[in-house]
Amino acid sequence: MRCVYSSVSLLKKQTGKTPAEQRWVQRQLKDPYVKASHSQNFRCRSAFKLLEIDDRFRLLQPGFSVVDCGAAPGAWSQVAVQRVNSAGSDQDLPRGMVIGIDLLHIPPLAGAHFLPSHDVTDPATHAELQALLPSGQAHVILSDMAPNATGFRDMDHERLVSMCLSLIDLAEKVLLPGGSLLCKYWDGVLAHRLQEKLSSVFSSVRTVKPDASRKDSAERYFLARMYRGSVK
C-alpha cells in the first residue's frame, strides 16, 4: 500500500525515477484523497474508503471490538478507533477495542493494539486474538490486505482471493454470531467463488466499490454481514 506524503516529498521523489514512477507521483499530487489524508492526518488515502463504507452501512459502532487484518500502516485502524471509541475520546459512549495485525511494522496508535510480525492465517495468531478480545470475540473483521503485486493480474487476483478465504477461518475462531466482515479483493474469475464461500456463512453479502477507489482499479470490497457460523 502506498501512503500519503507531503507535496514537497513527492516532488523530491521524482528525481531519478522511471517514467512510470513519475506518473505515479503526478497522480498522487493531483489526487484529492491524498491531499485530504495529509490535511486530516490519516496515514493513507485508504482511510476514506472505510469512512465512506461505514457512513453508508454503519459497520462500526461505539463499543464494538474490531480486528483489522493487514493493518499497516494503520489508516483503517485510525478510522476504526474513531468510530468504535476505542481511545475513550467520548466518555458518554461505550468504549470499543481495535486490534491490528500485519506481517509488517505498524507505527503505534492511541486506542489500537497492534500485533506486528503476525500472520493472520497462523493458529497462534488466532489464539492471541482470542486472549485479547472481550470474551474472545469481535464484532467486525476488516481486511484491506493484499499481496505484493507481481504484475501478473490473474496470479495477483488468485493470491488475494486465497487471503480473503483465510479470513473465513479467522471468523470461525473470533467473529461473534451476527458479526460482519469487510474484505478487499481484486475483480476476476475467482470472485464468484469467494462470494459463494462468504454466502455460506453470512446471511448478506454485497459488493462495494467506494468513490475513493480509483475508477480504473480492479479493487472491490465484499461486505458480509450477519455471520451464521461455520458450515460443517
Enter the C-alpha cell of residue 126.
488466532
Relative to beta strand 65-69, strand 112-115 is unpaired
- For every residue of 77-90, DSSP letters joined together read HHHHHHHHTTT---
Candidates 13, 17, 184, 232; catalytic one: 184
- In contact, 59 and 223? CB cutoff 8 Å: yes
Enter the C-alpha cell of residue 10.
513527492
- Catalytic site residue 184? yes
For 172-201, b/e burial (b = at least 16 CB within 10 A) is ebbbbeebbbbbbbbebebbeebbebbeeb
Catalytic residues: 184
